[in-house]
Amino acid sequence: DIQTTQSPSSLSASVGDRVTITCRASQSVHNYLNWYQQKPGKAPKLLIYVASTLQTAVPSRFSGSGSGTDFTLTINGLQPEDLATYYCHQTYTSPGTFGQGTKVEIK
């Protein structure tokens, strides 16, 4: 099974900050890597798919990059509504595997 490891597990940042979350796969997943945002008490929502494609209606301050084993989710200009837990998800193998999540808090 391909393992996906996110870091950090949590972070606290100020409004307007640039936030970076990384996801590392135990072997190459090419660009079959997705990111989800889960706000407190809500279902996960697709944010980015195929490593860097923004889902419709997702603000442009979110971006994704990477390929192979190393991926990054960046929030350029953190907003209060970005308070959430973010999960990476590799789907190169079926079924895929989720990262353990990164909780983003606002200072």
Partner 1 sequence: VQLVQSGGDLVHPGGSLTLSCAASGFTVATNHMNWVRQAPGKGLEWVSVIYAGGSTLYADSVKGRFTISRDTSSNTLYLQMDSLRGGDTAVYYCARQKYGEFGDNWFDPWGQGALVTVSS
Stretch that binds partner 1, among 13-21, 49-57, 60-68, 69-77 (CB under 8 A): 49-57
Is 65 one of the binding residues for partner 1 (CB under 8 A)?
Answer: no
Distance CA(83)–CA(86), nearest Å, equals 9
Q: In the set 46, 54, 58, 106, which binds partner 1 (CB under 8 A)?
A: 46
In sequence order, the 6+-apart residues with CB closer than 8 A to the CB of 26 are 2, 3, 4, 5, 69
Contact status: 86 vs partner 1 (CB under 8 A):
no
* DSSP-assigned states of every residue in 50-83: TTTEEPTT--TTEEEEEETTEEEEEEES--GGG-
98 binds partner 1 (CB under 8 A): yes
Binding site for partner 1 (CB under 8 A): 31-32, 34, 36, 43-46, 49-50, 55, 87, 89, 91, 94-101
